[in-house]
Amino acid sequence: QVQLVESGGGVVQPGRSLRISCAASGFNFSNCGMHWVRQVPGKGLEWVAVIWYDGRNKYYADSVKGRFTISRDNSKKTLSLQMNRLRAEDTAVYHCARDASDTPLVMDNWFDTWGQGTLVTVSS
């Protein structure tokens, strides 16, 4: 079945870096745009970043621009988020999510499959 499984979360000090990943299965990953969406525990959802099916186009929320980098390895069906210069306000559960479009060249920008998320805690 279609599945997304995140990994790599943990506790990290402010100013340090962390890389989280998302393993995809059950669908043609290389044809799908992919997103990261985060959620502070007990709070709402915040879109973080998107990457096109081929990795050529990437967009970021202003809150992470210049600090976070989204990437993908289609041969390994893996999505990644490199997070640098982390801040306390980056503490959240990070979900990877599949774009709903079934056409590689078109992005719908809503999310039809989500992973359970990985918790990133930024604290000294």
Pick the closest to residue 23 from 116, 121, 119, 124 (CA basis): 116
Q: Does 115 bind other proteins (CB under 8 A)?
A: yes
- Segment near other proteins (CB under 8 A), from 11-19, 22-30, 46-54, 82-90? 46-54
Q: How many CB atoms lie within 10 A of CB 17?
A: 12
Site map (CB under 8 A) of other proteins, residues 95-114, x = contact: x----x-------xxxxx-x
Residues in a beta bridge with 78? 23, 73
Asked whether position 116 contacts other proteins by CB under 8 A, the answer is yes
Cβ closest to other proteins, residue 59 vs residue 71 = 59
| Strands 78-83, 18-25: pairing kind | antiparallel
52 scored as a contact of other proteins (CB under 8 A)? no
- How many degrees, rounded to 5, is the angle at CA 59 between CA 88 and CA 14? 15
The contact set with other proteins (CB under 8 A) reads 44-47, 50, 59, 61-62, 95, 100, 108-112, 114-117
